[in-house]
Amino acid sequence: MRSKQLLNCLILFCYNTYCFGQDISLYKQFNGRYDYTAIGNTLNLVENGTDDPCEILTSSSASLNLNSNQNIIAAYLYWAGSGPGDFEIKVNDIDIIAERKFSNIFSNNDSELAFFAAFTDVTSIFLENGSGEYNISDLDVSEEIPSYCPTGTNFAGWAIVIIFKDNNLPLNQLNVYDGLQSVPDMLSIKLDNLNVLDNEGSKIGFIAWEGDASLAVSEQLTINGKVIGNPPLNPPNNAFNGTNSFTGSSNLYNMDIDVYNLQNNISIGDSSAIIELTSGQDLVIINNIITVLNNQLPDAKITLDSYTLECDDRGIEITYTVFNTNSTDILPANTPIALYANSVLVGQSYTLNNIPIDGSESNTITILIPESVEDDFILTLSVDDTGVNSGIVTELNEENNTENTYIELLIVPPPEVLQTNVACDEGFDTAYFNLEEILESLPLNSETYSFYTSLEDLKNNENEIFNTNNYSNITSPQTIFVKVENDYCYTVYSFDIIVENCPPFIPEGFSPNSDGLNDWFNIQGLYDIFEKHKLKIFNRNGVLIFEGNNTTPWEGRSNKGLNNVGNLMPVGTYYYILDLNDPNYKDIVGWVYINY
pLDDT in tens, 146-186: 888 888 889 999 999 999 999 888 888 899 999 998 887 78
Residues 6+ apart with CB under 8 A from 123: 72, 73, 74, 75, 76
pLDDT in tens, 258-271: 999 887 776 666 77
CB 308 within 8 A of CB 317: yes
Residue 436, H or E segment: helix 435-439
Q: What pLDDT does residue 471 have? A: 95
Q: What pLDDT does residue 197 have? A: 57
Report the amino acid identity of residue 556: G
Please count the CA atoms within 13 angstroms of the CA of 36 that sit on its side-chain side.
34
Residues 6+ apart with CB under 8 A from 135: 59, 60, 61, 91, 92, 93
Q: What pLDDT does residue 565 have? A: 77
- On the question of pLDDT at 20 being above 50, the answer is no
Residues in the chain: 596
CA distances from 264 to 187, 199, 223, 227, 275 (A): 22, 8, 10, 11, 14
* Cα–Cα distance measured from residue 379 to residue 26, given in angstroms and rounded to the nearest whole number: 30
Mean pLDDT of the chain: 88
* More confident of the two residues 129 and 428: 129
- On the question of pLDDT at 438 being above 90, the answer is no
Highest mean pLDDT, choosing among 201-205, 333-337, 436-440: 333-337
What band does 13 get if pLDDT is binned at 50, 70 and 90? very low
* Cα–Cα distance measured from residue 350 to residue 209, given in angstroms and rounded to the nearest whole number: 50
pLDDT in tens, 450-486: 999 999 999 899 999 999 999 999 999 999 999 998 8
* Cα–Cα distance measured from residue 180 to residue 512, given in angstroms and rounded to the nearest whole number: 119
Query: Quick one: DSSP state of residue 312?
Result: T
- Distance, CA of 264 to chain centre: 43
Q: What pLDDT does residue 352 have? A: 96
Per-residue burial over 30-42, b if 16 or more Cβ lie within 10 Å, else e, is: bbbbbbbbbbbbb
CB 596 within 8 A of CB 573: no
In the three-class reduction of DSSP (H, G, I as helix; E, B as strand; rest coil), residue 127 is classed as helix
Q: Three-state secondary structure along 168-204? A: CCCCEEEEEEEEEEEECCEEEEEECCCCCCEEEEEEE
* Cα–Cα distance measured from residue 456 to residue 462, given in angstroms and rounded to the nearest whole number: 8
Q: What pLDDT does residue 232 have? A: 87
The answer for 445, left when phi > 0, alpha when psi is -120 to 50, beta otherwise, is alpha
pLDDT in tens, 196-234: 655 567 888 999 998 888 876 777 888 888 888 888 888
Report the amino acid identity of residue 478: Q
CB 562 within 8 A of CB 543: no
In the three-class reduction of DSSP (H, G, I as helix; E, B as strand; rest coil), residue 476 is classed as coil
Q: What pLDDT does residue 18 have? A: 36
Question: Percent helix, strand and coil across the chain, each rounded to 5?
Answer: 5, 45, 50
The domains found in the chain, sorted by start residue, are 18-294 (no CATH), 301-408 (2.60.40.10), 416-500 (2.60.40), 505-596 (2.60.40)
* More confident of the two residues 14 and 152: 152
Highest mean pLDDT, choosing among 344-353, 482-491, 558-567: 344-353
Neighbours of 233 (CB within 10 A): 16
Query: Quick one: DSSP state of residue 151?
Result: G
What band does 109 get if pLDDT is binned at 50, 70 and 90? low
Residues 6+ apart with CB under 8 A from 196: 202, 266, 267, 268, 269, 270, 271, 293, 295
Q: What pLDDT does residue 3 have? A: 35
pLDDT in tens, 399-435: 899 999 999 999 988 999 998 999 998 888 899 999 9
Q: Which of these ranges, 152-156, 252-256, 312-316, 393-397, has the smallest mean pLDDT?
A: 393-397
Report the amino acid identity of residue 394: T
**For 459, phi and psi rounded to 5 degrees?**
-65, -35
- On the question of pLDDT at 141 being above 70, the answer is yes
* Cα–Cα distance measured from residue 246 to residue 221, given in angstroms and rounded to the nearest whole number: 19
Q: Which of these ranges, 48-57, 454-463, 473-482, 488-497, has the smallest mean pLDDT?
A: 48-57
* Cα–Cα distance measured from residue 536 to residue 579, given in angstroms and rounded to the nearest whole number: 8
- The residue among 203, 211, 198, 189 whose CA lies nearest residue 279 is 211
Across-strand partners of 275? 189, 223
- Distance, CA of 546 to chain centre: 84
Does the model's pTM come out above 0.75?
no
Strands (E), 6-93: 18-19, 25-32, 34-42, 60-64, 71-82, 88-91
- The residue among 123, 146, 266, 151 whose CA lies nearest residue 204 is 266
% of the chain surpassing 70 pLDDT: 93
CA distances from 280 to 113, 219, 224 (A): 19, 6, 21
